[in-house]
Amino acid sequence: MAEEPVDDKEMRREFGAKAAAPSEEKPAQPGRAPRPQRGASPKGKRRVVIDAQAGRKPAQRRERGAPRSEPKREPEAPTGPVKVPSGITVKDLAEKLGISPAKIITLMMGLGEMVTLTVSLTDDAVELIGNELSREITIQHTDDEEEEEVVFEDDPESLVDRPPVVTIMGHVDHGKTTLLDAIRESSVVSTEAGGITQHIGAYQVDVPDGRKVTFLDTPGHEAFTAMRARGAKVTDVAVLVVAADDGVMPQTIEAIDHAKAAHVPILVAVNKIDRPDANPDRVRTELVNQGLQPAEWGGDTIFENVSAKAKTNLEELLNSILLQADVLELKANPAADASGVIIESRLDVGRGPVATMLVQRGTLRVGDAVGAGGSRGRVKALNDYNGKRVKDAGPGVPVEILGFDKPPPAGEVGRVVENDRVARQTAQQRAQRKRTEMLAKRSKAVSLEDLFGQMQEGAVKELALVIKADVQGSVEAAVDEIAKIHHEEVSVQVIHSGVGGIVASDIMLAAASNAIVVGFNVRPNAEAKALADREGVDIRTYRVIYQLTEDIQRALIGMLSPEKVEEVLGEVEVRQTFRASRIGTIAGCMVTQGTVTRGAQVRIVRDGTIVHDGRIGTLKRFQDDVREVAQGFECGLTVDGYNDIKEGDVLEVYAVREVARSA
């Protein structure tokens, strides 16, 4: 008996098939298995494709005879100029250029350097990559971002007159600070090392008609070009001081260039007219060659003959400054959020980070959240140029700010922000950018004594330095001077710089980078000294910047042998102080190291910073005058001409000996 045919639909229902057969199906040819439907499994089960994107249509099958679509092409890389931050990594640079990171790695291998995706590239490497790819790449540094001017649109009705900001500029020893002293009737020159102004200061002067003038005193020595340029950028009027007995000098011309670049009007103060060999007309003639035509000769530059020492014609100079200010019509909005330029910053003993800010717009008040570069904080106190506490400071007013978490870099723009959180975020972003830039510049080096010998062996190619100074302006000046040092076989790099005494972290960084630690007007603390001895780190301390640059230059040519060598004789710790009406301050001390000798030179170190350098006056053991006191004994002493000794101060007793130079 023949079997009945089995219905295919019933069979699929019996086995739980997921999909039904098509309604119109061609009968299978005898002897051939039925062809599985497109999209179905060999067993007749349809594949179910779940599209994760809602609304996505399945791919359409190309109809027979339809033209084939063009193959998908990769988008072409952009060819225009790009702007990248300094210290950019290989991966980020590839994204900016729109190319594969492998291409950059290949280019760097061709230049003889192996890099990975996360390596920070130097500025030179980025420029080379741009040249190889024929792309214009602009490298943007963190400082460049802050220097971009922010244009504020204030309602004209909200603007009020503000004091003019005047910069005193000129050559070294032409009497700039002395002139400013005569105007504000104070004494600053006597406190400067070697009579050379090495810091920048801001002061305000009341003129007879009730108006105020803000003065910036910029150092005139060649080493402080960067500080002088910063002074010209924030000023309204530049007073060029030229000595009548000396005439135009190199830094005089440089000061003129800075003022012209900043589009600042120039007034000329021909100083020292009381000297027997003074010749003001010669000064005028020399300045005509520099493009400054005197007004009395038919030009537009005001010249005033003055004598800072004799206080001659100072009132005429102030009137000329006010006249120029009236022409400029200087105004600002005092009701806005405060912003201004950090003129100077330092780490003050007992008060912490202190910054001098020139308010340019708005009013700065106690309690404001403020950020400047990688520093931030809340204003705890404001001091005016006389050191008196004030509650606020308006446009054109220099003010000392207490409350930053660390000294902000000089020249940075300080701005009041909404709250501490915004200030912290901005500071962290800036600090991260700075660290990235410094990471791209790190290098290896050795001590100065061994430098020339290792250069001859071909073992040294770069000299790395860690620089610490008492104020930010001095740090900038030292870095700027070191950048001028060039040698055929060795490059000099600053891997870290900062304000304050030399501490253990500086030594650790120098040990890891095989660098030299340089202190400018600061000293290492006890922990840093001990760590430097263990790690073999070379520490160099200087009072004048040119001793530092001369030592490096001599090291590069194999002539490092200073004429004068400082020898530390002993170290004293101040335990107690006493006041005597006829003698002054007597320090009760314990000799912790070496020997203390009467009449020896001594420097007073407070929290790592040198606060005074002088000589020991009297030296006593109990009631007896003694010549010297050895380690482990107590003594009483005075320092000639200095009475501000405090408990906890460390007195370094030293002697300077002359040593013959060796080749």
Span 201-216, pLDDT tens digits: 677 887 767 788 888 8
Contact 90, 121 (CB under 8 A): yes
- Mean pLDDT is lowest, of 40-54, 180-194, 200-214, 330-344, for 40-54
DSSP element (H, E) containing 269: strand 266-271
Q: CA nearest 354: which of 407, 412, 398?
A: 407
Interval 277-335: pLDDT, tens? 889 889 999 999 888 989 888 888 999 999 888 888 888 888 898 888 888 888 888 88
Task: Count how many domains the chain has.
Answer: 5
Q: Are residues 188 and 211 in the same domain?
A: yes
Residue 653 structural domain: 565-658
pLDDT tens sequence across 628-637 = 999 999 999 9
Question: The tokens of 13 are what?
Answer: 């229902």
**The token pair that represents 443 in the structure block:** 């290098």
Condensed to tens digits (0 to 9), the pLDDT of residues 384-407 reads 877 888 999 989 888 899 989 888
Tell which of 390, 416, 437 closes a domain: 437
* Beta-strand relationship, 398-404 and 375-383: antiparallel
194 and 321 in one domain?
Answer: yes
Q: Determine the pLDDT at residue 523.
A: 87
Query: What are 386's two structure tokens?
Result: 């006389």
- pLDDT of amino acid 77: 54
Q: Do both 322 and 222 map to the same domain?
A: yes
Domain identity same for 499 and 596: no
- 32 occurs within a structural domain: no
Give, as one character, the DSSP assignment of residue 337: B
Q: Are residues 639 and 610 in the same domain?
A: yes
For residue 23, is it within any domain? no
Angle at 385 between CA 380 and CA 386, to 5 degrees: 100
Q: Is 241 in the same domain as 356? A: no
Low-confidence winner among 135-149, 182-196, 276-290, 326-340 (lowest mean pLDDT): 182-196
User: Residue 573 has which token pair?
Assistant: 């710790």
pLDDT confidence of residue 650 = 93
Query: In this structure, what CATH number is given to the domain that contains residue 362?
Result: 2.40.30.10
Task: Check whether 457 has a pLDDT greater than 60.
Answer: no
CA–CA distance, 197 with 170 (Å, rounded to integer): 12
422 plus 447 within the same structural domain: no
Does residue 370 form part of some domain? yes
Do 464 and 520 fall into the same domain?
Answer: yes
Residue 441 Cα distances to 59, 86, 451, 491, 513, angstroms: 54, 10, 20, 11, 11
Q: Which of 421, 437, 453 is the last residue of a domain?
A: 437
Tell me what the mean pLDDT of segment 148-166 comes to. 72
Percent of the chain with pLDDT over 70: 73
- Average pLDDT score over the chain: 76
Task: Evaluate whether residue 27 is within a structural domain.
Answer: no
Chain segment 355-388, per-residue pLDDT in tens? 888 898 899 999 998 888 778 889 999 988 778 8
Which of 152-166, 463-477, 609-623 is most confident?
Answer: 609-623
Please state, in angstroms and rounded to a whole number, the distance separating the CA atoms of residues 142 and 431.
Answer: 9
Q: Which of 283, 29, 546 is nearest to 292 (CA)?
A: 283
Q: What is the pLDDT of residue 11?
A: 52
Sign of CA pseudo-dihedral 258, 259, 260, 264? positive
Q: Of 25-34, 99-108, 320-329, 423-432, where does mean pLDDT reach its minimum?
A: 25-34
Do 397 and 351 reside in the same domain of the chain? yes
Residue 221 and residue 304 share a domain: yes
Q: Tokens 């890389």 correspond to what residue? A: 77
Same structural domain, 263 and 409: no
pLDDT score at 238: 87
Residue 17: pLDDT over 90 = no
User: How far is Cα of residue 239 from the mean position of the Cα atoms in its chain?
Assistant: 27
Instruction: Classify strands 331-332 and 160-161 as parallel, antiparallel or unpaired.
Output: antiparallel
